[in-house]
Structure 1
Amino acid sequence: MTTSKSPIASGMTRRGVLASALAGAGTLALYGCGPSSGGSAGGAATLTVAGQSDNLAKSFNPFLPNTAQGLTYASPGQGNFIYEPLVQINTVNIGHDLPWLARAWRWSNGNKTLTLDLQTGVKWTDGTPFSASDVVFTYNLLKKNPALNLLGIDFSTVSAPTPAQVVFSFAAPSEQFFTNIVSSAIVSEHLWSKVKDPIKYTDSDPVGTGPFKLDQFSAQSFLLVRNEDYWQPKAQIKAIRFVAYKDNESMTNALVQGQADWGGTYIANADKTYLSRSKNNNYWAPLAGTDGLIPNLERWPLSDIAVRRAISYGVNRKQVGAATDSPEATSVTGLPMPAYTSSIAPAYQGVNFTQDVAKAKQTLEDAGYSKGGDGYYQKGGKRVQFSISFPSAYTDIASRVQVLVSQLKDIGIKLTINTTTVNDINTLTAKGDFDSTMGYPVNSAPRAFSYYNDTINPNLYYPIGKATPTYQNIERFQNAEAAQLFTEYPKATTDAQRQQILNQIEKIFVDNLPWIPMFYWGSYGNWSTAKATGFPTPQNPYFTPVPNPVVALRLKPV
Structure 2
Amino acid sequence: MTSKARKTLRRAIAAVAAAASLMSVGACSGPSAAASDGTVVSVFNGTTGTFNENFNPFSPTALGPTLGVIYETLYWYNLAADEAPTPMLATDYEWNDDGSELTITTREGVTWQDGEPFSAADVAFTFNLIHDTPALNTNGTACTAELVDENHVTLVFPTENADGTPYDEPFTGAYMQEGGILGGQAIVPEHIWKNIDDPMNYTNADPVGTGAFKLDRFTNQSYSFTAFDDYWNGRPKIDGVRYIALNDASAATSTLMAGQVDWMSAYIPSYEMLLENYPRISAVNTPRLTTVVMTCSNAEAGCEGPQTDPAVRQAIYYGMNRTQLNKLAGAGAGAMGSPTMLMPDRDASWITDPDLRYTPDGDDRETAERILDEAGWIMGDDGYRYKDGVKLSMTIQTVAGWSDYILINDTLKQQLKPIGIEIVSTQMAWNQWNDNEQKGNYQLSLDSLGLGVTADPYYTYNPRYSSEQMAKVGETSGGQNYARYSNPKVDAAIKAAAGTVDEEERKEQYAIVQREIADDVPYIPIYINSMLTEFNTDKVTGWPTEDDMYALPAAWKAWDMGIILQHLEPKQ
| Residue 123 (structure 1) aligned to one of 89, 102, 111 | 111
1:324 has 2:330 as partner: yes
Q: Give 2:565's aligned amino acid.
A: A
Q: Which moved more, 1:98-107 or 1:335-344?
A: 98-107
Query: Which residue pairs with 1:314 in the alignment?
Result: 319
Query: Which residue pairs with 2:28 in the alignment?
Result: none
- Counterpart Cα distance in 2 of 1:511 and 1:195: 44
Could you say what secondary structure the match of 1:311 adopts?
helix
- Counterpart Cα distance in 1 of 2:215 and 2:335: 41
Contact 1:321–1:520 (CA<8 Å) still a contact in 2?
A: no
TM-score normalised by L of structure 2:
0.81
Contact 2:127–2:143 (CA<8 Å) still a contact in 1?
A: no
- Counterpart Cα distance in 2 of 1:107 and 1:522: 38
Could you say what secondary structure the match of 2:288 adopts?
strand
Contact 1:123–1:209 (CA<8 Å) still a contact in 2?
A: yes
| Residue 50 (structure 2) aligned to one of 29, 43, 55 | 55
1:469-522 per-position Cα deviation (integer Å, ceiling 9, x unaligned): 2132x2233333222222222223411111111112212222333332111135
1:415 has 2:423 as partner: yes
- Counterpart Cα distance in 1 of 2:399 and 2:68: 24
Paired residues for 1:363-442 under 5 Å: 363-439=371-447
RMSD: 2.7
User: Structure 1 pair 115/344, CA: closer, same or farther in 2 (3 Å)?
Assistant: same
- Counterpart Cα distance in 2 of 1:524 and 1:212: 25
Q: Give 1:284's aligned amino acid.
A: V
* Percent of aligned pairs sharing the same letter: 28
- Counterpart Cα distance in 2 of 1:251 and 1:85: 30
- Counterpart Cα distance in 2 of 1:359 and 1:58: 47
Contact 1:318–1:328 (CA<8 Å) still a contact in 2?
A: no
Query: Which residue pairs with 2:568 in the alignment?
Result: 555
CA deviation after TM superposition for structure 1 residue 534, in Å: 1.4
Could you say what secondary structure the match of 1:287 adopts?
coil
User: Structure 1 pair 369/254, CA: closer, same or farther in 2 (3 Å)?
Assistant: same
Q: Give 1:557's aligned amino acid.
A: P
Query: Which residue pairs with 2:306 in the alignment?
Result: 301
| Residue 91 (structure 2) aligned to one of 75, 90, 103 | 103
Contact 1:324–1:400 (CA<8 Å) still a contact in 2?
A: no
Query: Which residue pairs with 1:239 in the alignment?
Result: 240
Segments of 5+ residues of structure 1 without an aligned counterpart are 1-40
Could you say what secondary structure the match of 1:308 adopts?
helix
TM-score normalised by L of structure 1:
0.83
| Residue 470 (structure 1) aligned to one of 479, 488, 504 | 479
Could you say what secondary structure the match of 1:438 adopts?
strand
1:167 has 2:154 as partner: yes
1:452 has 2:465 as partner: no
Q: Give 1:155's aligned amino acid.
A: A
- Counterpart Cα distance in 2 of 1:244 and 1:465: 28
Contact 1:293–1:518 (CA<8 Å) still a contact in 2?
A: yes
1:228 has 2:216 as partner: no
Query: Which residue pairs with 2:22 in the alignment?
Result: none
- Counterpart Cα distance in 1 of 2:443 and 2:152: 47
Contact 2:344–2:357 (CA<8 Å) still a contact in 1?
A: no
Contact 1:376–1:409 (CA<8 Å) still a contact in 2?
A: yes
Could you say what secondary structure the match of 2:567 adopts?
coil
User: Structure 1 pair 137/411, CA: closer, same or farther in 2 (3 Å)?
Assistant: same
- Counterpart Cα distance in 2 of 1:460 and 1:205: 29
- Equivalenced residue count is 507
Contact 2:322–2:526 (CA<8 Å) still a contact in 1?
A: yes
Q: Give 1:152's aligned amino acid.
A: N
- Counterpart Cα distance in 2 of 1:478 and 1:57: 31
CA deviation after TM superposition for structure 1 residue 260, in Å: 0.6
Could you say what secondary structure the match of 1:179 adopts?
helix
- Counterpart Cα distance in 2 of 1:433 and 1:180: 28
Query: Which residue pairs with 2:256 in the alignment?
Result: 255
Query: Which residue pairs with 2:19 in the alignment?
Result: none
| Residue 40 (structure 2) aligned to one of 36, 42, 46 | 46
User: Structure 1 pair 316/231, CA: closer, same or farther in 2 (3 Å)?
Assistant: same
Query: Which residue pairs with 2:102 in the alignment?
Result: 114
- Counterpart Cα distance in 1 of 2:95 and 2:106: 15
Q: Which moved more, 1:369-378 or 1:337-346?
A: 369-378
Could you say what secondary structure the match of 1:553 adopts?
helix
User: Structure 1 pair 514/220, CA: closer, same or farther in 2 (3 Å)?
Assistant: closer
1:135 has 2:148 as partner: no
1:227-262 per-position Cα deviation (integer Å, ceiling 9, x unaligned): 222211322112212222243332222112110111
Query: Which residue pairs with 1:5 in the alignment?
Result: none
User: Structure 1 pair 99/386, CA: closer, same or farther in 2 (3 Å)?
Assistant: same
- Counterpart Cα distance in 2 of 1:309 and 1:349: 14
Segments of 5+ residues of structure 2 without an aligned counterpart are 1-34, 160-172, 556-560
CA deviation after TM superposition for structure 1 residue 459, in Å: 4.4
- Counterpart Cα distance in 2 of 1:220 and 1:464: 30
Query: Which residue pairs with 1:283 in the alignment?
Result: 283
1:374-424 per-position Cα deviation (integer Å, ceiling 9, x unaligned): 222223333211111233243332222122111112332110013333223
